[in-house]
Amino acid sequence: MGEPRVCDIGEREVIRRIRRRLPAPPDWLRTPIGDDAAVVRPPRNRDEVITTDAMVEGIHFDRSYVSPAAIGAKALAVNLSDLAAMGAEPRLALLSLILPADTTVNDLDSLVDGMLEMAGRHGVTLAGGNVSRSPGPLVVDVTAIGSVKARDVLLRRGARPGDAIYVSGAVGAARAGLLSLRGAQGTAGQAPGDGLEELRARFLVPEPRVRLGLLLARNRVASACMDLSDGLADAVRGVTAAGRVGAIIEAEALPIPAAARRVFEAAALDTIDAALEGGEDYELLFTVPRRRRRALAAVLARVPGVACAHIGHVTAARRIVLRREGVERALPAGYSHFTG
């Protein structure tokens, strides 16, 4: 007899195990979990913001080096990152779990616990979901709903020539963390003290910039905002295309951690290109008009753990230029889901 698996306990018991782990629901959730659908009282005078994102085994994670708890936490975190990019306050999530029959009950519990820990930290209620058997990979599909005052919502469009471009946290960290987890050559001899643990953590469980997004929105600091799910280059392209503007990005200003630089160099990658193209950082890219710079400083003082780097500015000319050691060239292409 091995460890119990989900096929041994059946769907009903899987749902019971998940339900048992949930904290008491807030009063705006009008139905107990387990009815045909969730009934939710909407927040007063606010618009709802809805997003969905799935994590698929073999595409987004490899169970040989990603724990079930990290899979659960990240599946919610990537959705919260999208809400943060809109300036929304997260409120509830729905979980669709597609499980291979041989998933152990322990792994199921850990995955759900990882997700609920992330949910608890951000005040998110798991309001319902669905469980199904997978004939192949493990799939964790999450829908998240938040709310924002209509006039505060952050959109991708809205960047104007002269606006400063900022990015939160670090770029390239998640990609370097993934390379390190995969055992990229040259990194095996580095001790955790070299910063590798931090890079790996950024890949395994990104910290969605929920509070920063909320404050940027409430204080009307950002003219445009987008999260970095597919890399910084992709986000710059997204914001400039939506605003029908261009940008100049200063390579020397990019917040690339020293440990990530070492990982890229060991893997024979160009440091700047690797950081620009590297996906999964889940930071926020945002633009700030000159007259809102002082308000930005006040916002940043309220998120002391999150540094924001001024990495360039918006231009009227609709080109994206990377300025590096005085030389200007086009920005490299970002990661693409169907070709990468």
Binding site for Mg ion (CB under 5 A): 82, 227, 229
> 82 vs 163, which CB is nearer to Mg ion?
82
> 199 vs 235, which CB is nearer to Mg ion?
235
Instruction: Name which of 29, 25, 97, 38 is nearest 68 in CA terms.
Output: 97
> 57 vs 283, which CB is nearer to Mg ion?
283
CB of 117 to Mg ion, least distance (A): 22
Q: For the beta carbon of residue 3, count every other beta carbon within 10 angstroms.
A: 10
> 82 vs 273, which CB is nearer to Mg ion?
82
CB of 51 to Mg ion, least distance (A): 8
> 229 vs 315, which CB is nearer to Mg ion?
229
CB of 125 to Mg ion, least distance (A): 22
CB of 158 to Mg ion, least distance (A): 16
CB of 234 to Mg ion, least distance (A): 10
d(CA 144, CA 272): 33
